[in-house]
């Protein structure tokens, strides 16, 4: 039983699933994925995303605005709290810093938005989903300055070095790896996977992006999560079932889903 800790189900290409979201959900179930976290990246698309997953209690959601999003509604603490009052919302994010795609060269806007998310997470007591790319020092600095340790969360789709992972772990965060770890060029990242404490490890697809080998370059879906799991299991010298169990336990502990039924409802 696998849990996908980060996917964008509202962006998954349904062409190979009869253009039917229910067909995709059944395919995920058949591929061993029992739970998914559908992550928000902008407030304008949020209501449609929330409606899409509403009939599927095995899908958790998060609310937030991605650091690279522009032109949509800018989040305030109050607005995030209003949306996060929904019991299906298990986390705030994705939020963070991404200097790789910093278009205007001005990081101040990203910093302000990131601080808003951390304040909202602290106010509602829900963990943070952190997106960080080429902004190691500032990401850790802002997490520290805003007291993110009080709620913790996950550094998602981790691609940075061990020093950054260590700093996140020290703040109580977990680390989640995507299909990137299956890429041939990702040897140094595989070294990080080997070092993360087993009780802080999560797995994700980041669908529809970053399909794992052997589907690299194709549209991704949670149905491919087993390829991420198999790669990490091998790196950690565990069988896949054990890795699945450990990462599912970590997910439930982090996102407060210990009590909820994991079974699928017929769609």
Residues that bind Zn ion (CB under 5 A): 39, 94, 131
Q: Given the complex with Zn ion, which of 168 and 233 has the nearer CB atom?
A: 168
With a CB cutoff of 8 Å and minimum separation 6, the contacts of 39 are 6, 7, 8, 61, 62, 64, 91, 93, 94, 129, 156
Point out the annotated binding site: 6, 8, 94, 131, 156, 206
Residue 31 φ then ψ, to 5°:
-85, 10
Q: Find the shortest distance in angstroms from Cβ 242 to Zn ion.
A: 27
Distance of CA 206 to the CA centre of its chain: 7
Point out the annotated binding site for a divalent metal cation: 6, 8, 94, 131, 156, 206
Q: Given the complex with Zn ion, which of 35 and 131 has the nearer CB atom?
A: 131
Q: What does DSSP assign to residue 133?
A: E
Closest among 71, 51, 18, 16 to 207, alpha carbons compared: 16
How far is the first Cα of the chain from the last one, in angstroms, to the nearest whole number?
19
Q: Find the shortest distance in angstroms from Cβ 261 to Zn ion.
A: 26
Distance of CA 154 to the CA centre of its chain: 7
Q: Given the complex with Zn ion, which of 4 and 94 has the nearer CB atom?
A: 94
Q: Find the shortest distance in angstroms from Cβ 177 to Zn ion.
A: 13
Q: Find the shortest distance in angstroms from Cβ 144 to Zn ion.
A: 21
Residue 79 φ then ψ, to 5°:
-65, -45
Q: Find the shortest distance in angstroms from Cβ 129 to Zn ion.
A: 8
Q: What does DSSP assign to residue 154?
A: E
Q: What does DSSP assign to residue 100?
A: T
Q: Given the complex with Zn ion, which of 39 and 244 has the nearer CB atom?
A: 39
Q: Given the complex with Zn ion, which of 39 and 143 has the nearer CB atom?
A: 39
Bridge pairing between strands 59-63 and 89-98 = parallel
């Amino acid at each position: 039983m696998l849990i996908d800790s980060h996917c964008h189900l509202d962006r998954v290409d349904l062409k190979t699933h009869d253009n039917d979201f229910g067909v995709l959900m059944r395919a995920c179930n058949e591929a061993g994925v029992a739970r998914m976290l559908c992550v928000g990246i902008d407030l304008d698309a949020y209501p449609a995303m929330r409606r899409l997953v509403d009939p599927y209690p095995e899908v958790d959601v998060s609310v937030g605005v991605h650091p690279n999003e522009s032109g949509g509604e800018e989040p305030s603490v109050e607005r995030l709290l209003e949306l996060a009052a929904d019991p299906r919302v298990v986390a705030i994010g994705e939020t963070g810093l991404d200097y790789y795609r910093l278009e205007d060269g001005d990081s101040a806007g990203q910093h302000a938005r990131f601080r808003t998310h951390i304040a909202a997470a602290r106010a509602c007591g829900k963990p943070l989903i952190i997106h960080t790319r080429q902004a190691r020092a500032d990401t850790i600095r802002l997490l520290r300055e805003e007291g993110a340790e009080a709620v913790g969360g996950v550094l998602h789709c981790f691609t940075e070095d061990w020093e950054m992972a260590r700093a996140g772990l020290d703040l109580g965060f977990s680390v989640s790896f995507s299909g990137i770890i299956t890429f041939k060029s990702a040897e140094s990242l595989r070294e990080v996977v080997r070092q993360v404490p087993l009780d802080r490890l999560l797995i994700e697809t980041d669908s529809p992006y970053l399909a794992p080998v052997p589907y690299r370059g194709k549209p991704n879906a949670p149905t491919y999560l087993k390829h991420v799991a198999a790669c990490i299991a091998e790196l950690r010298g565990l069988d896949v079932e054990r890795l699945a169990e450990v990462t599912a336990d970590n997910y439930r502990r982090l996102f407060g889903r210990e009590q909820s039924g994991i079974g699928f409802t017929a769609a």
